[in-house]
Amino acid sequence: MANAETNNSKITIYVLSCWIFAAFGGLMFGYDIGISGGVSGMDDFLLKFFPHVYERKLHAKENNYCKYDDQLLQLFTSSLYLSALVASFFASKAATKLGRRPTIFMAALFFIGGAALSAAADNRWMLIFGRILFGIGVGFGNETVPLFLTEVAPIQHRGAVNILFQLFVTIGIFIANLVNYGTSMIHPNGWRMSLGFAAVPAMVLLIGSFVITDTPTSLIERGKEVQGKAALKKIRGVSDVEAEYQEIVAACEQAKQVKHPFRNLAKAASIPPLAIAILLQIFQQFTGINAIMFYAPVLFQTMGFKTDGSLLSSVITGLVNVGSTFVSIYLVDKVGRRKLLLQACCQMLISQVAIGAILVTNLRETGTLDKKLAAVVVLLVCTYVMSFAWSWGPLGWLIPSETFPLETRTAGFAFAVSTNMLFTSLIAQAFLTMLCTMQAYIFFFFSGWIVVMGFFVIFLLPETKGIPIDSMVESVWMKHPVWKKLF
């Protein structure tokens, strides 16, 4: 098996461009996460599509925690993730049969269609159908981009390269917060601009799909050995790639023996990476991050900020999110995956418990939070977002993309993506109702999950730093004190 020494590589302008263009799939996803909550809080948007929510928002004595509780308004956010869930399985087939690059191209096309329809929406169902198109684009992009980045990255930089996806997710969220802040002052169609601008990163991804190469693994897997070897030389920037090429060929030969990769996931040897992939996605959502990112403007309004102030607070948290992801890029291949995840569990737990304690003690159903305490809550949200951004955010995508053997890689990662979309949609659909029902105790709910996550890392999650992706079974799973029992 290859190792860091035998995998020769140079970081060339071309390979950098491949990484960056592909990572725009993350920017697409992040922009949509960030744009939804801001648009949901805009008066013009609510007046057009959810006038009863707008009336409730204006009601002076309305319950702080319940003024946005509306199932159809939540469907505006969650419908995207439900369609992405279904689309990820079709994307898995496309990525295997057609290649990674064409699947990325399709992701961009669907996303552009969603942006156009959403921006032109004149009724609720047109709006939600646009969200479904967005979701298909997200499903195809989130299935393919992390796999692409993992397969083209040299082993010694694999973690950092894969985290470019999450970095661009955070940049997308930040840009969306800035756009929302600007378009909220444009009446009555600022929300149309917010939704329509989603086409911009999709256009970059569309153009990029003509620039990037398909991955050597994908080409060789589809019987294109000559093109695969040429692509490997191109992305490594060196001519001596024989050791890595032979490793990929051997993995592809083994993969050909598996006729039904989804069925193969039920075998005992597939359980460890599949269980880890699924649990990582569930835990990533039950940190509460998307509840905060989707609805940050709404959440800050609940705490007493005016619309502009809440959007500005979202911009601040978005900036923290982007900056902290760079920490992960720097550290992930140095300190490893497990240490980052465990450190973040401690920091997120402290932040969530503190936020919950402040709100339980000081924010009643009516009235607002004291300005100083509101500022403390924003600071705590920032420390929470910070720790998530260098841990559970990027590593939730990195670890599943590197732990499956080639024969079940796209199928296994489809389960990871679909699980992420399922639980993202559940959180998106349920959060405002949970906020209304549980009020500030919702932060204690997420805190409890963070404790569970810490034990999961300690007992079940192996370290994958520096392990070749085609050596995971022998080097990781067969040596793990729990998972080795399945081999």
Task: Judge whether residue 295 has pLDDT over 50.
Answer: yes
Q: Could you tell me the CATH number of the domain that includes residue 437?
A: 1.20.1250.20
What number is the average pLDDT over the span 370-390? 87
Q: Sorting pLDDT into bands at 50, 70 and 90, what band is 60?
A: very low
What number is the average pLDDT over the span 131-149? 95
CA 332 → CA 37, 103, 260, 274, 387, distances in Å? 30, 28, 34, 22, 13
* Contact yes or no for 165/149 (Cβ under 8 A): yes
Q: Is residue 466 part of a domain?
A: yes
Q: Is residue 187 part of a domain?
A: yes
List, for residues 150-203, the tens digit of each pLDDT value. 999 998 899 999 999 999 999 998 899 889 888 988 999 999 999 999 999 999
Q: Sorting pLDDT into bands at 50, 70 and 90, what band is 90?
A: very high
Q: Is residue 7 part of a domain?
A: no
What number is the average pLDDT over the span 4-16? 74
* Alpha helices per DSSP H over 212-306: 216-221, 225-236, 242-256, 261-264, 271-286, 289-302
CA 174 → CA 127, 131, 311, 319, distances in Å? 23, 20, 11, 6
pLDDT in the model for residue 424: 85
pLDDT in the model for residue 28: 94
Helix/strand/coil for 289: helix
Task: Give the amino acid at 159.
Answer: G
What number is the average pLDDT over the span 93-109? 96
pLDDT in the model for residue 179: 92
Model's pTM, two decimal places?
0.84
pLDDT in the model for residue 414: 94
What number is the average pLDDT over the span 198-220? 96
pLDDT in the model for residue 81: 86
> Residue 118 corresponds to which tokens in the numbers above?
């959403």
Q: Is residue 485 part of a domain?
A: no
**Using CA atoms, how far apart are residues 474 and 151, in angstroms rounded to an integer?**
19
List, for residues 240-275, the tens digit of each pLDDT value. 999 899 989 998 988 888 777 888 888 888 899 999
Q: Is residue 30 part of a domain?
A: yes
Helix, strand, coil percentages for the chain (3-state, nearest 5): 80, 0, 20
> Is the bond into 188 cis (omega within 30 degrees of 0)?
yes
Task: Give the amino acid at 75.
Answer: L
DSSP state of 215: P
How does DSSP assign 89-142, residue by residue? HHHHHHHHHT-HHHHHHHHHHHHHHHHHHHHT--SHHHHHHHHHHHHHHHHHHH
Q: Sorting pLDDT into bands at 50, 70 and 90, what band is 308?
A: low
What number is the average pLDDT over the span 439-452? 92
Task: Judge whether residue 80 has pLDDT over 90.
Answer: no
Alpha carbon distance, N-terminus to C-terminus of the chain:
20
Helix 409-438 / helix 392-403 crossing angle, nearest 10 deg = 150
Q: Is residue 5 part of a domain?
A: no
Residue ranges making up the domain that contains 338: 13-479
Q: Sorting pLDDT into bands at 50, 70 and 90, what band is 3?
A: very low
pLDDT in the model for residue 307: 59
Task: Judge whether residue 233 has pLDDT over 70.
Answer: yes
* Contact yes or no for 387/260 (Cβ under 8 A): no
* Contact yes or no for 38/297 (Cβ under 8 A): yes
Task: Judge whether residue 145 has pLDDT over 90.
Answer: yes
Q: Is residue 487 part of a domain?
A: no
**Using CA atoms, how far apart are residues 260 and 154, in angstroms rounded to an integer?**
29
Task: Judge whether residue 294 has pLDDT over 60.
Answer: no
Mean pLDDT of the chain: 88
* Contact yes or no for 30/318 (Cβ under 8 A): no
Owner of token pair 């705490």: 303
pLDDT in the model for residue 268: 84
Between residues 130 and 468, which one has the greater pLDDT? 130
Q: Is residue 98 part of a domain?
A: yes
| Number of domains, the chain | 1
